[in-house]
Amino acid sequence: MSALIYSFDHPAGESLDALCLRFGNKAVGLIEMTRLGLPVPAGFAISVDAGRALMAPDAPFPESLRVAVGEGLERVEAATGLRFGDPTAPLLVSVRSGASASMPGMLDSVLNVGLDRSTLDGLAQRGGRRFALDAYRRLLQMFGDVVLSVPRDVFEKLLAGTKTRLGRPAMLDSELDAEALEALTTAFEAHLTHASPALFPCSPQRQLELAITSVYRSWNNPRAQRYRGLQGIPDELGTACVVQAMVFGNHGPRSGAGVAFTRNPSTGERQLYGEFLAQAQGEDVVAGARTPSSLGAKSAIPGREDRSLERSDPEAFARVEQLAAALEVHFRDVQDIEFTVEDGRVYLLQTRSAKRTAEASVRIAVSLATEGKVSRDEALAMVDANAIANLLRTRLPSAEELLARDIKPIATGLAASPGVAVGRIVFDPEAAERMAAEGQDVLLVRRDTTPEDIVAMKGARGILTAAGGLTSHAAVLSRALGKCCVAGASTLQVDYASGTLTARPRRGSDEPPRTFTVGDTLTVDGSTGRVYAGALDVVAASTLPELDTLLAWADERRTVRVRANADTPRDVRAAAAFGAEGIGLCRTEHMFFADERLAALRCVVLAIDEQERERWVGRIESMQRGDFEQIFEAMAGHPVTIRLLDWPLHEFMPRDDASLAAVAKDLNVPLREARRRAGSRNEVNPMIGHRGVRVGLTIPAIYRAQIRAVISAAVTVSRAGRAVAPELLIPLTAVGEEVRRVADAVRAIAEEVFAELGARVAFKVGTMIELPRACLVAGQMARHVDFFSFGTNDLTQTTFGISRDDSTHFIPAYVDELGVLPQNPFRTLDVVGVGELITMAIDRGRAAHPGLGLGVCGAQGGEARSIQFFADHGVDYVSCDLSRLVVARLAAAQAAARIARSPH
Ligand code: ADP
Ligand code: MG
Ligand code: MG
């Protein structure tokens, strides 16, 4: 049987990792600090397993545990020269909780255990009566709360009553004199005896056993349970318990308790950072009854520098600084330290890796590596990849750079909410809402906004108002929503009736006014307040230089490539600026939003006559060719994967009378006939209806036009001397034969284009793997293609049978409240289910086609834990949204470093 307890000064033998599971984090920190010879009060840990016997409501304290605790105490007594329960030189201990996962402040601890009326005088010998009584009233308070479940406000009321009786209701606890404390402790005692006569008063030995029992049981308090639910910490883990000799921060003028961070946890700055409370025990620092002073003079509130530990006790401050530096070097990370000063001597009571902001984590990782305290791999592993998405933002080039290219703002308003937004201008909030829901980039333009506009504002890329200030509704709500907003651009005239926006020139300028209509594209810069005509390119703006360094290290380390999902030439250029090594998914649907294109697509679908259809198909081909040329140019030879039309036809069909009339006119048929044909395309479940390859095979003219456009664009760009690497992607395949037919068609059509243009380019053909059947028959599919691209959004939808759009009604409850799922599978790959299908598809696909390329293009391709899975399974690249590119670059590097370090 493994030992129930482990003394901090136990001769080293076992690894600390192994000890952590049995004795918890707090104990391991204390054991390690003791091994390093640092000033840690003597103590021992009791194992998680020992506590299991104590969890039942009336469980007796096991004899074996009593013996083990007795042995632990003897070592502490030997180290301190005190004796537990001794009337003349009593040893007092803290009884502390501590699991192997960090749960700060969630579990209970009791201090000053071993103090009762029989040992009080002995303690008074050490530091005076007032001190002893202060320690005693603290014990009664904590013991009452943790062990006897007496509500805390009972003590607060008795305390307040005492102060009022003394005529000083505002006095601090630390100002109560011996006499007042005498009265107070007597009142506390009476209350506890009354509340639990069977448990109080009790001997020091019984106090200790009850405290230990309660600390273990605090594992199941509602606060801790909720925290575990949120953090995904398993309930079975259990807590361990620490028993440790007390040191007293309430001992006199050169005493106190504090918390220190080895670096600033919000900025990452290299400075000792923290708080200190003189004449206090540890629990006071966090309780907030008194305002602690800062450790360093520099970080003190101006005017309060003298209260800082640095000024009030420079020696103790220097010692804390020295200990903190040693801990950081030893633990190879920023530490969050609890310490107590007793009569000028500093003791360490806890150390752990500090929680920090995303920004600080990047700074800290890079500086620790630069200072030689950790390796680069360790630095990469230190940063939570998912947390850094917002540290790289988009911004416009500076006004000067733009001016040099002859680009001038059409108006300048107030920089109301930062960011850059490009979109088509829409004045009507309802129209904005609808267009945004269709996936269009919308810029909501209003004179000013009202609370009813919130849905439109949420869906819009950005908001532009002509009236209102920095505290206007539009400005305030935009900031709350994290939306880019320019407010009060007063030279703009918004005319709702005519649907126009007129930019008056600045006074003194001789330029003519410019007028824009609904659907025109503008770019607004919420960081400068400038408004530009057209879609301007953005550049990547890192908020801190250390991020650039970290990403450079990550790029060197990773083997998995990182591509972006981007649909327009402008998005592709932005992706390149964010470090994308290609486009993993270019959705052609977005190219059909412009009115004339939508009209052409509708005619292709609704035409009955083949010749008629050919005419419209020709238009689509020539319109798309231009887009693809720009996209290939922007990616400068990096691979670009273009997905053939995937969306349900249903979604492109005309609905309102005006668009039906337009189609009728274009096709030269009566309105009734147009309505009938459009109606016949209606679907009950478009998501699993006539879409993807099913459209490709039943109306081949559409894919044919797209394939011709891609290949001829590639030839054109390549002829102009630029490298191109086009890849065509077939969506929603479930059957090997679907893949064979479309892949063959791609190759045949390409040959046809090459012959026409008299030049060739290399290209690839791949299929999406996004249906469970595709995973099963991956072997049959792989023969016909160069690569697979896992569409993890649809694969998750179809594997779970949950539509992503509707999942919001119950997935949050499943994850947070009910704990049915560990995480949202639409964000983090469901490794056990969907991951199993992916594994099967990879194995079967590669067995049939050894050189098969593998990519991922769903949302999970930009999520750190999912990327770890993809990297482990030999995926060549992940592709994600622009905003997740940095996450993917870092996560891929972390995966590489972990694979390199694991023993096989
Ligand atoms: P938590 O996990 O909630 O921080 P702790 O077990 O760390 O709880 O203890 C609560 C407070 O009591 C801390 O401020 C700690 O530093 C202090 N403390 C714990 N043990 C001792 C001790 N032996 N002597 C002095 N202070 C202590
Ligand atoms: Mg603590
Ligand atoms: Mg899909």
Beta bridge partners of 564: 583, 880
Three-class SS state of 172? coil
- For residue 791, the CA-to-ligand 3 centroid distance in Å is 6
Q: Give residue 543's pLDDT.
A: 75
| Residue nearest (by alpha carbon) to ligand 1 atom 1 | 105
- Pairing type for strands 411-412 and 392-395 reads unpaired
Going by pLDDT thresholds of 50, 70 and 90, the confidence category of residue 13 is: confident
In the structure, ligand 3 is a single-atom ion and the residues with CB under 5 Å from it are: 770, 791, 794
Going by pLDDT thresholds of 50, 70 and 90, the confidence category of residue 304 is: confident
- For residue 322, the CA-to-ligand 2 centroid distance in Å is 20
- For residue 246, the CA-to-ligand 2 centroid distance in Å is 14
| Residue nearest (by alpha carbon) to ligand 1 atom 14 | 282
Q: Give residue 393's pLDDT.
A: 82
Pick the more confident residue, 262 or 438.
262
Q: Which ligand is nearest to the CA of 97?
A: 1
Give the highest mean pLDDT range of 68-77, 396-405, 439-448, 452-461.
68-77
Q: At a CB cut-off of 8 Å and minimum separation 6, what does 811 contact?
A: 802, 821, 824, 825, 826
Separation of alpha carbons 174 and 167, rounded Å: 16
- For residue 859, the CA-to-ligand 3 centroid distance in Å is 11
Q: Give residue 220's pLDDT.
A: 94
Q: For the chain, what percentages of helix, strand and coil (3-state, to nearest 5) are there?
A: 50, 15, 35
Q: Does residue 132 carry a pLDDT above 60?
A: yes
Q: What is the mean pLDDT of residues 729-748?
A: 98
- For residue 104, the CA-to-ligand 2 centroid distance in Å is 7
Among 23, 28, 108, 109, say which to mutate for ligand 1: greatest number of ligand atoms within 8 Å of CB.
109
Q: What is the mean pLDDT of residues 410-434?
A: 93
| Residue nearest (by alpha carbon) to ligand 1 atom 24 | 246
Q: Give residue 898's pLDDT.
A: 84
Separation of alpha carbons 438 and 40, rounded Å: 62
Q: At a CB cut-off of 8 Å and minimum separation 6, what does 362 contact?
A: 268, 383, 388, 391, 544, 546, 547, 550
Which atom belonging to ligand 1 lies closest to the Cα atom of 247?
A: 24
Three-class SS state of 278? strand
144-153, 284-293, 704-713, 737-746: least confident range: 284-293
Q: Give residue 904's pLDDT.
A: 40
Sheet holding 492-495, edge to edge: 492-495, 500-503, 514-517
| Residue nearest (by alpha carbon) to ligand 1 atom 27 | 282
Q: Do 788 and 782 meet the contact criterion of CB atoms below 8 Å apart?
A: yes
Q: Give residue 772's pLDDT.
A: 98
Q: Which ligand is nearest to the CA of 94?
A: 1
| Residue nearest (by alpha carbon) to ligand 1 atom 23 | 246
249-253, 471-475, 851-855, 891-895: least confident range: 471-475
| Residue nearest (by alpha carbon) to ligand 1 atom 22 | 246
Q: Does residue 686 carry a pLDDT above 80?
A: yes
Q: What is the pLDDT of residues 503-553, one digit of tens each?
A: 998 777 788 899 999 999 999 999 999 999 999 998 888 878 999 999 999
Q: How many CB atoms lie within 10 A of CB 302?
A: 5
Q: What is the mean pLDDT of residues 586-614?
A: 88
Q: What is the pLDDT of residues 550-582, one digit of tens each?
A: 999 999 999 999 999 999 888 999 999 888 999
Q: Give residue 903's pLDDT.
A: 44
Q: Which ligand is nearest to the CA of 107?
A: 1
Q: Give residue 892's pLDDT.
A: 97
From the centroid of its chain, how far is CA 237? 24
Tokens, residue 506: 């600045």
- On average, the pLDDT of the chain sits at 93
Q: Is 857 a catalytic residue?
A: yes
Task: Given the residues 191, 473, 590, 638, select the one marked as catalytic.
Answer: 473
Q: Give residue 2's pLDDT.
A: 66
What CA dihedral angle connects 526, 528, 530 and 531, to 10 degrees?
-20
- What count of residues does the chain have? 904
Cα separation values, 846 from 226, 589, 829, 843, Å? 44, 31, 21, 5
High-pLDDT (> 70) share of the chain, %:
99
Cα separation values, 118 from 110, 235, 523, 646, Å? 19, 40, 78, 82
Q: Which ligand is nearest to the CA of 347?
A: 1
Q: Give residue 811's pLDDT.
A: 94
Q: What is the pLDDT of residues 349-400, one digit of tens each?
A: 999 999 899 999 999 999 999 999 999 999 999 999 999 988 888 889 998 9
Q: Do 373 and 329 meet the contact criterion of CB atoms below 8 Å apart?
A: yes
Q: What is the pLDDT of residues 468-497, one digit of tens each?
A: 888 888 888 888 888 899 999 999 999 999
Distance linking the first and last C-alpha atoms of the chain: 32
Query: Which amino acid type is present at position 446?
Result: R
- For residue 119, the CA-to-ligand 1 centroid distance in Å is 22
Q: Does residue 63 carry a pLDDT above 80?
A: yes
Q: What is the mean pLDDT of residues 13-38?
A: 93
Q: Give residue 661's pLDDT.
A: 93
Q: Give residue 289's pLDDT.
A: 66
Q: Is 241 a catalytic residue?
A: no
Give the torsion sign (CA, 865, 868, 869, 871): positive
Instruction: Output the ligand 1 site: residues, CB below 6 A.
Output: 41, 94, 96, 105, 109, 111, 244-247, 257, 281-283, 338, 340, 349-350
Q: Give residue 900's pLDDT.
A: 66
